[in-house]
A and B are shown apart, each in its own frame.
Chain A
Amino acid sequence: MNRLKNLFVLAAFAAMALFPLVAGNYGIDFVTKVMVYAIFALSLELLVGTTGLVCFGQAAFFGIGAYAAVLLSPQADAPSIAWLLPASVLAAAAYALVVGALSLRTKGVYFIMVTLAFAQMAYYVVHDTPLGGGTDGIYLMMKPVLGTVLDLDKPLALYGFTLLCLVLTFAFLGLLGRSRFGRALAGIHANEQRMRATGFSTYPYKLAAFTISGGIAGLAGFLFAVKDGFVNPEMMSWHLSGAVLIMIILGGLGHLRGALLGAFAFALLQEFFKSEAVFGALAKHWHLGLGLSIIASVVLLPRGLVGVPAQIRDRLVGASHARGAGHESV
């Protein structure tokens, strides 16, 4: 079973690697965007799925990563990825450290609201002050480069680099999940009281997870800013925090590949309901279709997309059980 899961992930990454061979410009741009979402979703999966911390302000870290990439870039020449990327990640992680230090003192629904509040604070700072260009946002003058090796202004280079970031993030979180740190996070998710009684100071663990998560969201934000060459306050809005939460729920909480699947499913659904070819004038109201399909998927797929094979298996086994019981009663 584990081998099957690994095979699925490898096949998915191989498909992404080969995709540019068959895709046009639009396809490459679309999948780049989805891969950025997938990194973003993975960052939240570490908090929600692994540690059991429902953060409703993840967009703040995404946005700070994006704004840092733009604000730190020099006006005249192309910045180097070598320092701009780490700087963006660190900026997001630093904010996450502060937000986490304060919000992790609360629990449950209060934690959700406090993380939302901190994200809204960040949103209004860029929305209402000239710091980040206000509501208009700001442009990234020159796309980052890595010497002469890599120029992220080229869509294909950006695609490859984003895929590399996604694979590395996935591998990093995979390693983390089976390490002692990751097992401790899973223990906190399962039973924090028992973890403390056993001798784990859970607060530093949660704060570390929160900070790492913020850094990864910052990486996604950096890539998004580079892709669009533009940032605006909407990147920090609670809509995006909600959307990324929906992605991991749609994909299936508690599994890294759930974040991957969820990001793709969400983006494809969005694209589908926006398509005028399918829905004509209704395409303007794509939120409605997307919302309904998400409600339907939560009702029908309680374990998310990753749970579908198990659900089918249960259904088949359950059906044969029911038949067996029927025979006995006859």
Chain B
Amino acid sequence: MNPSDILLRGTDITRRWGGLVALNKVSLSLARGTVHAVIGTNGAGKSTLINILSGEIPPSEGQVELLGQDVTQWTQPRRARAGLGRSYQRNTIYPNFTVFENCRLAAQANHQKPWSFWASAQQCDASTSIAHAVAERAGLKDMLDRSAGLLSHGQKRQLEIAMCLATQPQVLLLDEPLAGMGAEETERMLAMLQELKTDHAILLVEHDMDAVFRIADQVTVMVNGAVIATDTPANVRTNPQVRIAYLGEH
């Protein structure tokens, strides 16, 4: 693989909370055009890993590189503007705003101009056109004027993705995008991820193993804050260590 296609790389990331080691020398890299799944039991450190990669919390040790630059010291907003998008395990939308405004405000992050207070935000053509595009891509174009808090759970997850895309990121960190979704919604989301994969590098934390093994190109297995395997789905499935530690076979 061409090394310039590695969009995000974490090297030896360690995070300690007091005496507890939540992450222990975790390394992984995300390449354009791939879905890299991270699986592991609850408490394995998956969300902590996403939080560190996205800059929400700093690592105790280790390094994060985004598009070839060392961004370990960068704040989360700065990483986001540089092309890193993330979604949360719990829905983090703006529930009082319309679906459209959720998307538009996210798109505004790249067109902030806070000093132009006399101009209405609705007149910001760049952000409104992106908002229309991402809402359509996420299958929400028929409910632009609906209050986001009134959407179904699945639609809220779609909106999360739409908001992620509105900042036009190159790397997507998705924390359990399929959680709580019905079969039909899951299919729709997987189809969308499949399509997004062509021009993004995607990190997928997910509990739905069927989905993971269908869509992932690489799978990293974590146990107790450490990586025990990183491989193709087929190899991970047959890896004896993984079978013992995670898939529950003895």
Contacts and interface: CB of A to CB of B under 8 A. Distances in A.
Given A191-B94, A202-B77, A179 B105 contact: no
Contacts of B121: 178-180, 182-183
B163 A200 contact: no
A172 B118 CA distance: 8
Interface string A205-246: 100100000000000000000000000000000000000000
Interface string B52-84: 001010000000000000000001111011000
Contact of A180 (B76, B86, B92, B116): B116
A24 interface: no
A197 B86 contact: yes
A175 interface: yes
Interface residues of A, number: 25
A201 B115 CA distance: 15
A198 B168 CA distance: 10
A184 interface: yes
Contacts, number: 95
B93 A194 contact: yes
Interface string A180-200: 111110110011011011111
Nearest to A209: B114
A280 B116 CA distance: 54
A200 B56 CA distance: 13
A199 B81 contact: yes
Interface string B168-196: 00000000000000000000000000000
A176 interface: yes
Nearest to A205: B114
B236 interface: no
11 contacts: A179-B116, A179-B117, A180-B112, A180-B119, A181-B117, A191-B94, A193-B56, A193-B92, A194-B93, A196-B75, A200-B77
Interface of B: 54, 56, 75-78, 80-81, 85-86, 88, 92-97, 101, 104-106, 108-122, 124, 127, 163, 166-167
Interchain residue pairs A-B with the least CB separation, the first 6: A199-B80, A199-B109, A190-B94, A181-B114, A199-B81, A201-B77
Interface of A: 172, 175-176, 178-184, 186-187, 190-191, 193-194, 196-202, 205, 208
